[in-house]
Structure formats: structure tokens, C-alpha cells
Amino acid sequence: LARNPGFGGSIVLAAAVGMPVLAGWLQTWVYSVYVLTAYAGVRLISLIWRPTTRGRAVTVGLLVAAGFTIGLALAAIQLLPSVELQRLGVRRPGGLSLAAILPMGVLSPRDLLSEALNAAPAMPRHYVGIVTLLLIPLSLFTVKIRWRVLFFWCVGSFSVLVAVSLFTPVFRLCLQLPTAAWFRLPQRILILQAFASAVLA
């Protein structure tokens, strides 16, 4: 959309916004929408920043808004019953208590590092591969797409800092995001760290 503004790009964005909801796991969908929204914002700022692309920013912004709107419409078949269920269930709007968010305790930085380096079958959930971990630092030497590298470093770092919850103040800030306090087990946000690791590698 940023390079070649067109409605086809909006449809692809709509699929990226809407399809994960149909898998039925709203928590990971919310996390992916956070990243999509942040990435769209960064792309729009980069267009506005350069005088040569500034004129395109409004068109791109409208196409991005159309993509998000169509995506939410696609997702409505799952979102609307989920909202109704949430109002009727124990997880009412307004968020869960800290005890309910962390029913199994906190993931310590030490445990996270141990799991990140452990390739044992079926365990752990946070392993992305030793080669991936070795390649990630090399992304810092990228010249042409440095702002994207910085963005995905931020996504990966943010998700790790949220996953270790009470060990960092970032977790409390994350709870201020829309619907972030509605879900248990914040370490599930490490799906973003896995995605960022793959992109950076």
C-alpha cells in the first residue's frame, strides 16, 4: 500500500486483519492488530517524513483505513458472538484482575532465556532456533531498510518485556492498551517475538 497505493492492497490488509479472528483465538488476534496498527502508523509517518512521498500519505491513509474496516467486517461473524459471550461470561468488559491475568505466576527472564535456548521436542514454546538467534544481530547491519529493522527489534523487545510481566514496567503500560487486560497469560504475546525474529533473520 505504501509503495503502490491501490484497493487491492486494502483487500490484502483486510485479510490480514480479519482472517486470524476466524481461527477463534482473540488474544493473538489482538496482539497482531497492535502490530499491524503500529506498522501502518510507522509507514505513514515515513511517507510524510519524505517530501517526495508526502502527497501520497493521505491516499495511503485512506486505503489503510479501508483495509482495517473491511477486515473488521470480515471478522464480525466471529467478533460479534465473542463480544456477546464476553458480556455474559466471567470476563466482563473492563479487564481482569492481576491475579486472573497471571494465574500460573510470572515468567521470569531466566526461565524465558532457558526456554529460548532449549530445543527439546514439544518444549519449550518460546524456542525460535539457534540459527535464528545468531542471525538476528546481523540485521543491525542492514542499510536500505534500517527503519523496518528498528521497528521489528522494537516489536520483539516489547513482546519479551510484556511476557516477563511484573519484572518490567512495560507490562503495566501494555495493560493500558485497548482490551489488553482482558486476557490471561501475557506470555502468549511472544508470538510477536517469534514473528519479529523470523523477519529479522
- What pTM was computed for the model? 0.85
User: Which of 87, 199, 76 lies closest to 135 in space, CA to CA?
Assistant: 199
- Each of the 201 residues of the chain gets a pLDDT tens digit; together they read 888 889 999 999 999 999 988 887 888 899 999 999 999 999 999 889 888 888 888 999 999 999 999 999 999 999 888 888 877 876 666 677 888 888 888 888 888 888 888 877 765 567 888 899 899 999 999 877 788 899 999 999 999 999 988 888 888 888 888 888 888 888 889 999 999 999 999
Residue type present at position 73: A
